[in-house]
Structure 1
Amino acid sequence: MENNSPRQRQRRRRPKADVAPAPRRAAPVTGRLRPLSQEDMARISEASFDILHDIGLSDASPEAVRAVVGRGGQETEDGRLLFPRSLVEEALAGLRRDFTLCARDPSQDIEMTRSRVHTGSGGASPMVVDLETGAYLPAMLADLYDAARLVDTLDNVQFFSRSMIAGDMETLRDLDINTAYAALAGTSKHVMTSCSQAEHVRDIAGMCFLLAGSAEAFRARPFLSLNINHAVPPLRFDPEACNVLLAGAELGLPVMVNTFGQMGASSPVTIAGCLAQTNAETLAGMVLAWIVNPEVTAIYGARPMVTDLRSGGMAGGSGEQAILTAAATQMAQFYNLPNSTIAGATDSKIADAQAGYEKALSVTMAVQAGANLVTQAAGTQAGLMATSFEAYVIDNDMLGAILGAASPIPVDAQTLAVDVIAQTVRGEGHFLGHPDTYARMKSDFVYPAHADRQAPDAWLANGAPTINSAARQAAQETLANHFPSHIPAEIDRDIRSRFDIKLPRERMRQA
């Protein structure tokens, strides 16, 4: 990529924004949305066990076959790998719960406890929406780094999952290593990335060990995890992704065990059938990771998607998608497994009203269902085909409102405020000046940074700004001025001496 393009030069000329950061709020504990009954979940689980035992998955790598057969599994004559119920149950009993996905900045750690919710970025967009023109452009490594830098400043985008594919990388090894580096350099939040080949996992792990100081230090505080799509629905493994999963588990990297079936295309058209197949595919990956490392940090990532049956395309902003996502989250909770899901995959091409309602619907339902990690919750457009910096900023406001609405309501003597009511009605007659009101202004309320709350006359007097114009300016100012420096210079030099890092140092500092 040309690192001095007009869009980059214009970003650097913007003045620094003078915005005080909001205090970080605790992740809410949710899980009140329950579209499936306990009996429903039990029946779906039984169907998944039957699928694994009787149908199995094809195209497993030789390494995966050896692992499963060595624990009582079977490979059929037509090449399908069967998982006995006893093995699945043993793995479910042994898999870790209630762990922490760490960040370089400990204040940004993610607690993977039951129904504690965190929202973040994600996707594999081949395109980026240009901040200046709105044009869809091929995504480059510098764009990925910019996305990480922007997310680093957004309070409600709580982790950075690789959001786009750097189209200027010539080889898969270059892509995997440089994607991890750009993300880790751009943010001190927890990073999630992908890997195409098992040997590249060792490279990424080596980079993480350098940053942490040692392999042991990284395993004690893992600040990077791998997104792995080990299955190709219906009921097939991706052999290379299987080996990536095995390598990640062996090396002690947290692994996101993700499955993407499309309802009516690569999974049954019914929600129940889609859930049964997707659950089976996801459990197969969880079992594989556990076999090679019983202490593995594995996250259940069932992500069934809805197909628009008129066109065959994804319908990520539909109501059906929202309820399907909530139900998939329930299945993870049925086994008490730390989990992740996708929500926010709007079909809109720009950050408009359609994007707003589609994202708000799907993300709200995922949050209320209690998904531990909601990826793709910010910044994506066009069914995950593009990443928008403007949308990141708008979505950060949206996520603050959604997470705030998910917080439980405390009811006690202090919050019932009977004494305060008595004092107020006998005194000033309103609560605006009461000490409790002032004290709770920041703790109990989420104030949007860019959504407009002015009175109409003040809004007109100030030029009738839109949330889009405010978000665009905020993104430009951040990208002109925010260049994280949490990687010490000597470690950065060591990384660059061992790996072919394509992101120039001069691109990583203010002009």
Structure 2
Amino acid sequence: MEGGSSRKRGRRRAASAPLEQEQLAPIAGRLSPLSPDDLGRIDEASRNILTSIGLSDAPDPVHDAVTARGGKLTETGRLTFPLSLIEEALSGLRRNITLYGRTSRHDLVLTDARAHAGSGGASPMIVDRLDGTYRPALLADLYDAARLVDSLENIRFFSRSMIAGDMTTAYDLDINTAYAALSGTSKHVMTSVSTVAHVRDIARICALVAGSADAFKARPFLSLNINHVVPPLRFDTNAAASLMEAARLGLPVMVNTFGQMGASSPVTMAGCLAQTNAETLAGMIIAWLANPDCLAVYGARPMITDLRSGGMAGGSGEQAILTAAATQMARFYTLPNSTIAGATDSKIADAQAGYEKSLSVTMAVQAGANLVTQAAGTQAGLMATSFEAYIIDNDMLGAILRSAVPVEVNNSTLDLDVIAQTVSGDGHFLGHPETYARMKSDFIYPDHADRQAPEAWLASGSPTINSAARQRVETVLETHFPTHIPPDVDKVLRAEFPIRLPRNRMGQL
């Protein structure tokens, strides 16, 4: 069974490689749940929130930057933004953003509605691959997740997927999360920070890995996920200050806002979108004030609340349409954007996880999200990470991204001459040179989803996608120990920072 499965996967890879960039990052954006009038009314409501209601708990850097441009404090201490500042920032924010990998094949172009899907979640737990139980995630698990994503073609970036529970301080957590991710993958890395001081040290790590600060700024391969607001409409003082510092230092920033509909934002989708959009725009504005050339990505992430329990319902149909609508708001401003999709409520990689993830990720991609985080590997409403799910979701993402590629209609693809030749000749197109050529360029073949005939499937031992995924996980983790940080640089990092990941755990002596 193992030999037959391996040979079959080998044939699939040979047939589908190399993948075209248009397949890996299609230009989508054909799903529009909001009408032009809807978009205008939500935009107007968001501006009213910023100019009239404002946000509380602005840290000094935010207060000083906004009031210097005409912002005011209300009698209750809420910071309001003048309309002129909103307009100027929206006009001045960069649209031409690329997030880089350590090699050019992993670059993420965020123009138009070009879509990329990746990991994420910040889960406190992991599904143990040996016995299937939930246990606290460790730093070594995070490194293994990065190694796994490094080997999976359709997971295009690595956003920190777990919180390493064995890190005893916030500083150790921030530094070692960045180190483990950068060690495990050459794809673009997204991580988080706790304080402004940690932003500077992450920038220092990136400069050392890149060779210099200027080299990193030329090709930034790490960005920061920053949740600058605690909904409803209250700045997180540490995060907002960190956002401005990261923008000032040239680190790309994901300006993320999480409001739960019916809990920390209004229970209606329109009200939730208006508040979340206002909170996200506030973050984009303060990043721009810190650095008018900042690499800021609009990250509205309104989430659905299960009103029976108060918990998140990330796998719901309501979540799928809300995410698509939030993505459409980002495209209304033509801003590079990111969102969450794939936050299944299922606890394991099963049919529920499959339909919930595929629904929300498909709608986010079709709506034109540039970056879809949490699209692979997450379970239980982002509370756990599953390595098995990474493998299955990689297949799923290949199909979803391929479905977003526009249909090409021209004389060559209509191909009337070939139709005429075929119907008067062999009567089928299987042997035609065009069929063979496009087999390699126009199709993505799954690595683990089974397409055998029933008889062959039975003869091969009736494998499931889960059993194939588990086998792939073991193979990758036993053999794939990349050296994305050269030994001499690694030595400098370990001398300057408290790196907790042992070299022998990384396949090094």
Tell me which interval the TM-score lies in, with the shorter structure as reference length.
over 0.9
What is the CA-CA distance between 1:486 and the residue it aligns to? Answer: 2.1
Give the Cα separation in 2 of the matches to 1:83 and 1:486. 44
Are 1:98 and 1:114, in contact at CA under 8 Å, matched by a contact in 2? Answer: no
How far does the alpha carbon of each residue in 1:40-80 deviate from its partner, in whole angstroms, 9 at most, with x for none? 10100000000001000001111211111111111223211
Are 1:180 and 2:184 an aligned pair?
no
Q: Which residue of 1 aligns with 2:382?
A: 384
Report 1:111-126 matches (<5 A): 111-126=109-124
Return 5+ residue gaps in structure 1 as ranges: 1-14
Counterparts of 1:181 and 1:89 in 2: how far apart (Å)? 39
Shift of 1:24: 3.1
Supply the distance in 2 between the matched residues of 1:354 and 1:78 (Cα, whole angstroms): 47
Query: Partners in 1 of 2:438 and 2:432 — Cα distance?
Result: 10
Aligned to 1:160: 158
Cα deviation per residue 1:135-177 (whole Å; 9 max; x = unaligned)? 1111000000000000001111000000000000010000000
Q: How many residues align?
A: 497
Which letter does structure 2 place at the counterpart of 1:88? I
Q: Report the residue type matching 1:156 in the other structure.
A: N
- Residues 19-30 of structure 1 correspond to what in structure 2 (within 5 A)? 19=10, 20=13, 22-26=17-21, 27-30=25-28
Match of 2:402 among 398, 404, 410: 404
Displacement of 1:223 = 0.3
The alpha-carbon deviation at position 23 of structure 1 amounts to 2.1
The within-5 A match list for 1:328-477 is 328-477=326-475
Shift of 1:510: 7.1
Decide whether the 8 Å contact of 1:299 with 1:340 is kept in 2: yes
TM-score (norm 1): 0.96
- Structure 2 CA distance for aligned equivalents of residues 349 and 140 of structure 1: 19
**Per-residue Cα deviation, 1:91-140 (whole angstroms, up to 9, x for no partner):** 00000012210111111100010100000000110001111111111100
> Given that residues 222 and 252 in structure 2 are in contact (C-alpha distance below 8 angstroms), is that contact kept between their aligned partners in structure 1?
yes
One-letter code aligned to 1:23: P
Among candidates 224, 229, 242, match of residue 226 of structure 1? 224
Tell me what 1:5 maps to: none
Cα pair 1:68 1:288 within 8 Å, conserved: yes
Q: Find the aligned partners of 2:508 and 2:342 in 1 and give their Cα distance.
A: 32
Greater shift, 200-209 or 484-493, is seen at: 484-493
The answer on whether the counterparts of 1:99 and 1:112 sit within 8 Å (CA) in structure 2 is yes
SS state at 1:299 partner: strand
Which runs of structure 2 are paired with 1:74-153 in the superposition (5 Å)?
74-153=72-151
User: Which one-letter code corresponds to 2:245 in the other structure?
Assistant: A
Structure 1, residues 455-487: CA drift from partner, whole Å, max 9, x if none? 111111111100000001001100110111121
Q: How far apart, in 2, do the equivalents of 1:342 and 1:139 lie?
A: 21
| Equivalent residue, structure 2, for 1:197 | 195
Contact 2:32–2:367, Cα closer than 8 Å, also in 1: yes
Q: Residue in 2 aligned with 1:51?
A: 49
Instruction: Map Cα deviations across residues 151-208 of structure 1 (whole Å, 9 max, x no partner).
Output: 0011110000000000000100000000000000000000000001110010100000
CA distance in 2, matches of 1:211, 1:24: 28
- Match for 2:425: what amino acid? G
Question: Aligned letter for 2:18?
Answer: P
> Is 2:500 the counterpart of 1:485?
no
CA deviation after TM superposition for structure 1 residue 249, in Å: 0.6
**Secondary structure of 1:490's aligned partner:** helix
Query: Whole-Å Cα distance in 2 between the matches of residues 236 and 201 of structure 1?
Result: 22
TM-superposed CA distance for 1:245, in Å, is 0.3
Q: Is the 8 A contact 2:157 2:189 kept in 1?
A: yes
- In structure 2, what is the equivalent of residue 323 of structure 1? 321
Q: Which 5+ residue runs of structure 2 have no aligned equivalent?
A: 1-5
The DSSP-based 3-state class of the residue aligned with 2:385 is: strand
CA distance in 2: counterparts of 1:295 and 1:214, whole angstroms: 20
Native 8 Å contact 2:305 2:312 kept in 1: yes
Instruction: Say if 1:144 and 1:164, in contact at 8 Å, map to a contact too.
Output: yes
User: Is contact 2:182-2:484 (8 Å) kept?
Assistant: no
Runs of 4+ in 1 over 3 A off after TM superposition: 17-22
Show CA shifts across 1:21-50 (max 9, x none). 742332100100000011110100000000
Q: Which region of structure 1 is more displaced relative to structure 2, 19-28 or 307-316? A: 19-28
Distance 1:99 1:48 in 2: 25
8 Å Cα contact 1:480/1:510 also seen in 2: no
* 2:19/2:441 contact within 8 Å kept: no
Counterpart Cα distance in 1 of 2:333 and 2:139 = 38
1:304 aligns with 2:299: no
Structure 1 counterpart SS, 2:18: coil
| 1:18 CA drift (Å) | 8.0
Q: Which of 60, 63, 79 lines up with 1:62 in the alignment?
A: 60
Determine the structure 2 residue equivalent to 1:291. Answer: 289
Q: Please tell me the residue identity of whatever aligns with 2:386.
A: S
Q: Which amino acid aligns with 1:355?
A: A
Deviation at 1:247, TM superposition (A): 1.1
Question: What SS does the corresponding residue of 1:364 show, helix, strand or coil?
Answer: helix
